[in-house]
Structure 1
Amino acid sequence: MNPEHRAAQLQTLIERLRRLVPILTADADCVWARHFANCLHRAETFADGFTQDDLNGLSSSVMSVYGGMGSFNDYVAYGAGGRPVDGFAGLCGDVYDAALNLRVIEAQP
């Protein structure tokens, strides 16, 4: 595990969660806001150090709400005027990908 590479991957997830959480919390009825806010808080606590097990657990937590009927994948965020938030689906995919990247261990040559 390259700690600098993992730290950069963790920072990517944090940045994406920081974009996602305000969108979710703007919807008072969003059941996912607290989950992702907790994931963001957890990720930020790893700034002072982490193990691969820490990253795997965080990744698992983020990814656990994706997939299946009634999952986060089914949620649509609405903004001003009742229109869906531009780029929301892409951001959700980016959060998932960033979480997955924390788990993937590259083969050593």
Structure 2
Amino acid sequence: MQSLNHSLGIDIGGTKIAIGVVTSDGHVLANRTLATESSQGTQNAIKRICATIQLVLQDSGLEISQMVGAGIGSGESAAWHYQQPLHPAWLGGLEYCRFALERTGIAGVVGK
């Protein structure tokens, strides 16, 4: 049985999205960045994130089945907001955990 000690990290910022594969002790095996393009909407972002995840996995030499999980960080509030949101076109569409599970088969955690 293979050990699961690798995770995906996805950081969704105002201008860029960073995606990486890390070991359980924090060593970065591979990473890539892409422009956020928040005005293009959530579905566009999810499509681009999925494509970049595949590239990062190729760079790391690992497969999605070797990931123990995914951590997704965003400056956006997933449930409510009290000021202008970071990505206005994404309001009501922040379903990152569902995306992680459905698209990759691994559990996702959203942090802010």
TM-score by length of 2: 0.31
* Structure with the bigger percentage of helix: 1
| Bigger Rg, structure 1 or 2 | 1
Higher relative contact order (CA 8 A, sep 6+): 1
TM-score by length of 1: 0.32
